[in-house]
Amino acid sequence: MGLLFIDILQPHYTISYIFSKINLIRYVYIPLNITAQNLYNFHVDLKNKTILLTGATGGIGEAFVQEFAKDGAKFILVAKNQEELNQLVTKISLKDVSIYETDFSDIGKTTNLALQIAKNHPQIDILMNNAGIGVYDNLENIDPKSWFDSFAVNVHAPFIFSKILLANLQKSSTPMIINTGSQCGFKIEETRLAYNSTKFALRGMSLTMAQEFRDKGIKVVLLSFSSVMTNFGPLDIPDKKRLEQNGHKYFRPEYVAKEIVSRIKQDHIEDEMCLIQE
Ligand SMILES: NC(=O)c1ccc[n+]([C@@H]2O[C@H](COP(=O)([O-])OP(=O)(O)OC[C@H]3O[C@@H](n4cnc5c(N)ncnc54)[C@H](OP(=O)(O)O)[C@@H]3O)[C@@H](O)[C@H]2O)c1
């Protein structure tokens, strides 16, 4: 199982152009828009860094907590279910951790939580907006609430957290915002109207923020993955394992977290970091 890293030096290359050239490649890491200007030149030592991670109880969130914890990071963990957060803290034996339960589909709750965290934790080094929901329906079948909830969780929550916690991030010497996007942020799946729309929006927001903060010291990174073996979306892990036997490709969340965290530590940080299996 190999991983191929492709450096695209021409900033005008588009994702679809790149994909048209690499259809046969199984594992692809694509740094976008590499120029001397946006190659970041600092090393992130995660020891004692305060990492705020949303969606911590999900498959990808837990894997990132496990990976960041190996380097001695401190955590502020957010998810929808307090009991699952408690279980996660016990399972990983996290020592320096604060947990917060909320429902991001309620924008008032999201805003209040961000204000509470801003007050309780003066400095935040990494904000990882990772919570997400996958509503896979077409226009005819989707109910409006699912559409609005999808935007509230996948787009508005990352916006509100980034906006309200900006001053806390600016207290860090190595501030970073990591947004968990998806291959669905640039590749259309016709049955995924809401999910595609939210991940396209998140991608636009993240890449624009990366530009905005390039000279102001905050690194903004979008992670774009193809399918990962978690309970995300309408299919659970047993369903996905059956699909895998029929040829569908899934990354393991542990692999995704290890790969991305190691690139963060090695200084290989780009506006968009993709892990795609064709
Ligand atoms: N799995 C994939 O194939 C894949 C591929 C590319 C990108 N992604 C992205 O990766 C991120 C994490 O996905 P995952 O695979 O780890 O999914 P997951 O296992 O379903 O985890 C999602 C996390 O988000 C939380 N969450 C969901 N709705 C919430 C809400 N209304 N309020 C607060 N928290 C909420 C969940 O908490 P509860 O469990 O308590 O609801 C859970 O902690 C998502 O942004 C997803 O779009 C996933």
pLDDT tens, residue by residue, 229-252: 999 999 999 999 999 999 999 999
- Which of 27-36, 164-173, 179-188, 257-266 has the weakest average pLDDT? 27-36
- Give the 3-state secondary structure of residue 202: helix
Q: Is the CB of 225 under 6 A from ligand 1?
A: yes
- Which residue did the predictor score with more confidence, 26 or 132? 132
pLDDT in tens, 84-140: 999 999 999 999 999 999 999 999 999 999 999 999 999 999 999 999 999 999 999
Question: What's the CATH code, domain 39-277?
Answer: 3.40.50.720
Q: Is residue 30 predicted with pLDDT exceeding 90? A: no
pLDDT of 268 reads 86
Q: Which residues are within 8 A (CB) of 143 and not within 5 positions of it... i.e. 6 or more apart?
A: none
Q: Is the CB of 198 under 6 A from ligand 1?
A: no
Report which protein residue has its CA nearest ligand 1's atom 20. Answer: 232
| pLDDT band for position 42 (cuts 50, 70, 90) | low
Q: Is the CB of 153 under 6 A from ligand 1?
A: yes
| Residue type, position 37, single letter | Q
Hey, which of 232, 239, 240, 256 would you mutate to test ligand 1's pocket, going by the most ligand atoms within 8 Å of its Cβ?
Answer: 232
Hey, which of 205, 230, 273 would you mutate to test ligand 1's pocket, going by the most ligand atoms within 8 Å of its Cβ?
Answer: 230
| pLDDT band for position 35 (cuts 50, 70, 90) | very low
- Which residue did the predictor score with more confidence, 267 or 65? 65
Q: Is residue 266 predicted with pLDDT exceeding 70? A: yes
Q: Is the CB of 254 under 6 A from ligand 1?
A: no
The pTM assigned to this predicted structure is: 0.89
pLDDT of 26 reads 39
Q: How far is CA 44 from CA 114, 124, 173, in A?
A: 25, 14, 10
Q: Is the CB of 79 under 6 A from ligand 1?
A: yes
Report which protein residue has its CA nearest ligand 1's atom 39. Answer: 58
User: In the chain, what are the domain boundaries?
Assistant: 39-277
CA 56 / ligand 1 centre spacing (Å) = 8
